[in-house]
Structure 1
Amino acid sequence: MRLSLAGRAPALRKAATAVIGLRPAAVSTVVGLSLVAAVAVVGFSGAPALAEGDDVTWAVRTASNTYGNDRSSYSYSVNPGGSAEDGLVVSNKGATPLKLEVYAADGLTTSTGQLDLLARDKKSKGVGVWVTADTQTVTVPAGKIVEVPFKVTVPANATPGDYVGGIVTSLTAPDSNAQVNVERRLGIKIKLRVGGALVPSLAVEDLKVDWSGAAFARGDATVTYTIHNTGNAVESAKQAVSLSGPFGWFRTDAAAIAAPPELLPGESWKVSVPVHGVAPAVLLTATAELTPLVTDDSGSTTALASVTGTAHVWALPWTLTVLLIVLIAALIALIWLRRRTRTRRKAREEARIAEAVELALRAKENAVDVTAVPEDA
């Protein structure tokens, strides 16, 4: 695949103008980078590769060599301390000579699931540092093709695993409709696998579930979670989400879920899955199951052992909820009444006993007074 960064200037003019307000000097606005099919925008098919605005008049492709012909991207397996050499072919479709800058940058996955490259002012740590072109600029005559050799040099202390980035051709020029310099880039993806132990791993994090329903009818739930690539390989995954009641009863499976994009090591991807027709089974358990998918050097995809995450939510229909509240209130009232009745009965009994004791004491006093009277009185 090739990377197209052209034709996005209009959407960035407002932001660029704000930057100019702070820095009067010429500003380089990096226009977005996205993966596109070879024939879609920057395909090398003989026709001019023009992006939006018809102001990008060059195209890029991989060189033909021992790595293959007509490759859509670059892919290497290099051990720490090793290197690889390749080439980038640049064709000028315009009527005037074209001077382009050539550099590499690390990759990242955008919020839309597309592969992007770090902006030029951002520091790369992998591919963007290890890939160097023979020249930092190349001049391509009108209607001609020039090949730019480059080299991949992996440090001896590089951590094993997958690294993704790209090699870019760049042209910075004033935008015709705004007072700002715009950098237009075309590049090609580079996937580098550094030799050593490959440890693929995905984790389900921050899993939450929300359920809504009415009366005794089934309701809808939304399960959200984050897929985190905790390994050192580029990974995607098959996903499955289900909800069930106690003991696994009333299980409801979500519809088919689209696979996440290939996540680079350390990256995360947020997922939200609707589940319809969920039974109000009092206490629901949501389960998200991921089956990691890893692609090897030959292009074959392997499914690894699945990982799961769970969360719980109360699912009480309103009718049942109201009934339970009434029953609980009635139970509390009954207990209170019984305790109050017992307390009153005890108070009455204690009063009766106290009265009986008092009467007994009075009777005794009267009896003593009678016996105390002299016989001759």
Structure 2
Amino acid sequence: MRRTVALLAAVSTVLGLTAGPALAQEGDVAWAVRTASNTYGSDRSSYSYAVNPGGSARDSLVVANRGAGPLRLSVYAADGLTTAAGQLDLLPRDRPSRGVGAWVEPATGTVTVPAGRTVEVPFTVSVPADATPGDYVGGILTSLAPPDPTARVAVERRLGIKIKLRVGGDLAPALAVEDLRVDWHGSAAAEGDARVTYTLHNTGNAVQSARQAVTLTGPFGWFRTDATAIAAPPQLLPGERWRVTVPVAGVAPAVLLTATATLTPLVTDESGSTTALRPVTASAHAWALPWALTVLLIAGPAAVAGGVVLTRRHRRRRTAREQARIQAAVAEALRGKAEAV
């Protein structure tokens, strides 16, 4: 059985591409899409092309009507994006595409499929001569317009297949770690919990993921603690960012903590092999003071300052008493001398 790939979405919120057998159904309306069997393959889960600037590729989308009556669908392409949930999705129809969505041209903008039949829709991928080398991701979609165009909430049911396009030229994968921060929250106990946050930024021109490692240490590398079970980030498209939060338990109050994030970029080539690139790192610092030490650091200088003030006050009082005693003795001596005369 041929593999199908589907996307079901509302106009305002695209739900994402899924691989494997799938079906869109609304009452008696049901349809599926799959890749055509041709020189590219007979059992593909998605479309993948390598095209040089100025070149093109031709392929087809197969639409199957599983409903009881004829089905009329719109056909168009859209650029891909990564959602906040880490899923690949496609731009809504009312947002302009600048890559795959702009370069993929279906042979027809609408298709009518008789009940129980399939129709093949050819399309062409035309890469501009001035296209920047690198990876582009999008998809080709079939869309069922809402039955009532005057409805206040218009829901567009869509099915589509992912298209990955690599434009020929120098591939320059690069991943940056940005805005790294660390917070430590301790108690009277010896250890506390830390939270490390940072942003992964795909600054290259290839789709990338990464292996992640986070380490916290005190001064001179003492009291090392390694984070465990860091969730893998999604495949980030060129230019995309992904925010990462890593909780770390059992971190010693080492006074000054250093958090280091090490990211190993992972790039997949056209054959499906994944290559690990040179790791990139970033560091940040935070205070980690236990309560006892914090109290000591606050109370110690206060106690010293208080002792200095008391000592000075005692010295002033003692000096005043000594001066008063001397003055009294001098006055007594002068009175004795006057009486003798």
TM-score by length of 1: 0.80
Superposed CA deviations along residues 131-150 of structure 1, whole A, max 9, x for unmatched, are: 00111111111111111110
Q: Structure 2 regions of 5+ residues with no counterpart?
A: 328-341
The equivalent position to 1:38 in structure 2, one of 15, 20, 42, is 20
- Determine if the alignment matches structure 1 residue 69 to structure 2 residue 42: yes
The equivalent position to 2:120 in structure 1, one of 147, 150, 153, is 147
Conserved? CA contact 1:30–1:184, under 8 Å: no
Cα distance, 1:54 vs structure 2: 5.0
Q: RMSD of aligned C-alpha atoms?
A: 2.6
Q: Indicate the residue corresponding to 2:291 in structure 1.
A: 318
In 2, the alpha carbon distance for the partners of 1:261 and 1:55 equals 36
Q: Indicate the residue corresponding to 1:241 in structure 2.
A: 214
Runs of 4+ residues over 2 Å off in structure 1:
29-33, 53-56, 178-182, 331-349
| Larger gyration radius, structure 1 or structure 2 | 1
Q: Secondary structure at the match of 2:145?
A: strand
Structure 1 letter corresponding to 2:234:
P
In 2, the alpha carbon distance for the partners of 1:80 and 1:50 equals 35
- Determine if the alignment matches structure 1 residue 188 to structure 2 residue 161: yes
The equivalent position to 1:110 in structure 2, one of 83, 86, 107, is 83
Number of corresponding residues: 325
Superposed CA deviations along residues 216-260 of structure 1, whole A, max 9, x for unmatched, are: 421111111111111111100111111110011010111121110
- Determine if the alignment matches structure 1 residue 268 to structure 2 residue 241: yes
TM-score by length of 2: 0.88
Structure 2 letter corresponding to 1:134:
A
Cα distance, 1:179 vs structure 2: 5.9
Report the identity percentage.
71
The equivalent position to 2:8 in structure 1, one of 2, 5, 15, is 5
Conserved? CA contact 2:24–2:159, under 8 Å: no
Structure 2 letter corresponding to 1:281:
A
Q: Indicate the residue corresponding to 2:110 in structure 1.
A: 137
Cα distance, 1:343 vs structure 2: 7.3
Q: Structure 1 regions of 5+ residues with no counterpart?
A: 9-28, 43-48, 356-377
Conserved? CA contact 1:245–1:281, under 8 Å: yes
Q: 1:337 to 1:129 in 2, by over 3 A?
A: same
Superposed CA deviations along residues 190-230 of structure 1, whole A, max 9, x for unmatched, are: 01111111111111111111111112421111111111111
Q: Indicate the residue corresponding to 2:139 in structure 1.
A: 166
Conserved? CA contact 2:133–2:166, under 8 Å: yes
Structure 1 letter corresponding to 2:96:
K
Q: Secondary structure at the match of 1:330?
A: helix
The equivalent position to 2:92 in structure 1, one of 105, 114, 119, is 119
Q: Indicate the residue corresponding to 2:55 in structure 1.
A: 82
Matches for 1:345-364 after TM superposition, within 5 Å: none
In 2, the alpha carbon distance for the partners of 1:268 and 1:179 equals 34
The equivalent position to 2:30 in structure 1, one of 30, 40, 57, is 57
Matches for 1:274-285 after TM superposition, within 5 Å: 274-285=247-258
